[in-house]
Amino acid sequence: MEARTLRFEAALLSMDRVLCRSLLQEAMGEERQLEGIEHLLGPALAHIGDRWEAGELALTQVYMGGRICEDLLADLCPTSSTPVAGGPRIGVGVLLDQHQLGKRIVASSLRSCGFQVLDYGQGLEPLELARLARKDQVPILMVSVLMLNSALRLRELREALGEGPERPRLVVGGAPFRFNPRLWQEVGADAVGQTGVDAVAIAQRLLEESCAP
Ligand code: B12
């Protein structure tokens, strides 16, 4: 890992919010803002997760790390920073689990590129999420899942979205798809992405495809 990522991880674990914030701002200044956040926060939290799994860290440390990142994101990339009237609409949500940082970054990336984001929240049941997406007639539904059990329930969501050209296209992302690169196809998704930048590129591609004669 890069030196700054290691420093960020250490600052998260010692709950040094001031240092976390300044490292994040530094990273945001060097790259396009959200990409800077992704490059620092993603690997640091993934490493904290691995260390928790290996028994080196307590769950409370994971919790506090996540909490600090949540507060920093709320502060540095507010949810409604760029409301765009008339842009293509995209639904986003977290299926079943409570890991919401990825969804937040994906939503901010989409908003910053002119999409109207309908944020359905987290901890959603498959049928409920499908109902919301169909009611709003979003052409694309982006779903974040961080736990394998939640990822496997994407099949139910995909089924409930229905068939035909009008059904929302299902785009997925999150840790289980990094661990198993074929999982997105197994659950019936239309596309998978690893970052907020991917989310934007996929949305543009799917919308172009749907307009093609
Ligand atoms: C922080 C964290 C928590 C925090 C969450 C805080 C919060 N408010 O979100 C807390 C402490 C609450 C938590 C709880 C739990 N966690 Co947890 N957690 C993590 C951790 C360390 C980091 C996740 C994170 O926020 N990463 C940073 C964000 C920015 O990254 P991201 O979500 O991956 O999103 C990026 C990309 O994936 C992508 N992306 C994400 N979604 C989408 C969607 C689309 C459409 C696209 C295009 C892209 C995209 O773009 C994002 C931005 O770059 C992960 C480790 C890991 N490797 O992910 C474990 C992890 C996900 N947790 C895990 C577990 C087991 C749990 C608990 C069950 C622990 C417990 N015993 O209680 C609970 C479950 C809670 C629940 N019901 O949901 C396991 C899951 C394992 C599995 N096989 O399912 C992991 C993988 C840790 C591990 N190595 O074992 N967790």
| CATH number of the domain within which 172 lies | 3.40.50.280
Of the residues 33, 51, 76, the one at which a domain ends: 76
Per the CB < 8 A criterion, the answer to whether 168 and 138 are in contact is yes
Assigned domain for 81 exists? no
Tens of pLDDT, residue by residue over 122-175, are: 999 999 999 999 999 999 999 999 999 999 999 999 999 999 888 999 999 999
Same domain? 66 vs 102: no
Assigned domain for 83 exists? no
Of the residues 41, 76, 111, the one at which a domain ends: 76
If you take atom 85 of ligand 1, which residue's CA is the nearest one? 49
Distances (CA, A) of 112 to 31, 48, 140, 156, 197: 15, 29, 17, 31, 10
DSSP assignment of 21-54 equals: HHHHHHHHHHS-HHHHHHHHHHHHHHHHHHHHHT
How many residues make up the chain in this entry?
213
Structural domain span for residue 16: 3-76
Tens of pLDDT, residue by residue over 6-55, are: 999 999 999 999 999 999 999 988 877 788 889 999 999 999 999 999 99
Q: Which two tokens stand for residue 182?
A: 């074929």
Question: Which pLDDT does position 213 carry in this prediction?
Answer: 64
Percentage of the chain surpassing pLDDT 90? Answer: 77
Identity of the residue numbered 96: L
In angstroms, the CA 84 to CA 87 distance is: 6
Same domain? 143 vs 168: yes
Task: List CB contacts of 47: < 8 A, sequence separation 6 or more.
Answer: 1, 5, 9
Same domain? 65 vs 93: no
Measured from the Cβ of residue 3, the count of other Cβ atoms closer than 10 Å reads 7
List beta partners, residue 141: 91, 170
**Confidence band, pLDDT 50/70/90 cuts, at residue 212:** low
Ligand 1 pocket, residues with Cβ under 6 angstroms: 38, 41-42, 45-46, 48-50, 53, 59, 62-63, 66, 70, 97-103, 105-106, 142, 144, 146-148, 171-175, 193-196, 198-199
How many CA atoms does the CB half-sphere of 77 hold within 13 Å?
25
Assigned domain for 84 exists? no
**Confidence band, pLDDT 50/70/90 cuts, at residue 77:** confident
Per-residue pLDDT, averaged over 204-213, amounts to 83
Dist. CA 210 → ligand 1 center (Å): 32
Mean pLDDT is lowest, of 15-24, 27-36, 73-82, 198-207, for 73-82
DSSP state letter for 142: E
- Per the structure, how many domains does the chain have? 2
Same domain? 53 vs 104: no
Same domain? 192 vs 118: yes
Of the residues 76, 109, 139, the one at which a domain ends: 76
Same domain? 26 vs 56: yes
Q: To test the ligand 1 pocket, which listed residue (1, 33, 99) has its Cβ within 8 A of the most ligand atoms?
A: 99
Same domain? 122 vs 199: yes
Helix residue spans in 82-125 (DSSP H): 101-112
Give the ligand 1 atom nearest the CA of 97: 78
